[in-house]
């Protein structure tokens, strides 16, 4: 791996952690408004962002999550969702469309987080309700991120940055 790729991934991981830390009280409940999820859209521009995103999720869940098993479930959710989006990127060329689909993939896969919250955090809510609220909050966060990431890309050119 090139030094530039390592440095950019380290920056992405650090930014993911810092942004998650800033909103931590709202990022680990059944309504997860994690602004740091914006970084998940970077995978649309270059698959090399995979490691920065995953390491950022790992660090955030390791240090900030009140339920330490979140390391396993949070990483699983992120890795599965990113891999699905990477596969879809082989056939979908529109970056806007792929970011929208990425939002759907991450939102649907919130059943992984919902299971963790129901079983290990022992939330006194139904699994379907937790899945609905985490999925909707993930979808809202990631859809809001689409125009932001899209226009930042025009300035920063994410595909060439790494």
Query: CA-CA distances (angstroms) from residue 30 to 90, 101, 102, 123, 137?
Result: 33, 22, 20, 8, 9
pLDDT per position as a tens digit, 54-91: 999 999 999 999 889 999 999 999 999 999 999 999 99
Per-residue model confidence (pLDDT) at position 27: 66
Q: The pTM is what?
A: 0.94
54 close to 12: Cβ distance less than 8 angstroms: no
Query: CA-CA distances (angstroms) from residue 117 to 29, 44, 124?
Result: 8, 28, 10
- For the chain, domain boundaries: 3-161
CA 97 to chain centre: 17
Per-residue model confidence (pLDDT) at position 29: 67
Neighbouring CB atoms inside 10 A of 89's CB total 18
């Amino acid at each position: 791996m090139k030094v530039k790729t390592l440095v950019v991934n380290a920056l992405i991981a650090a930014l993911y952690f810092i942004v998650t830390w800033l909103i931590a009280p709202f990022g680990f409940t059944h309504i997860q408004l994690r602004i740091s999820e914006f970084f998940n859209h970077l995978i649309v521009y270059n698959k090399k962002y995979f490691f920065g995103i995953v390491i950022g999720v790992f660090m955030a869940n390791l240090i900030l999550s009140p339920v330490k098993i979140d390391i396993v479930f949070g990483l699983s959710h992120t890795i599965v969702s990113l891999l699905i989006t990477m596969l879809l990127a082989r056939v979908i060329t529109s970056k806007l469309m792929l970011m929208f689909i990425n939002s759907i993939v991450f939102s649907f896969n919130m059943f992984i987080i919902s299971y963790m919250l129901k079983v290990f955090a022992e939330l006194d809510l139904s699994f379907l309700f937790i899945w609905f609220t985490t999925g909707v909050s993930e979808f809202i966060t990631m859809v809001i991120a689409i125009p932001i990431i899209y226009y930042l890309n025009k300035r920063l050119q994410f595909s060439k940055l790494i």
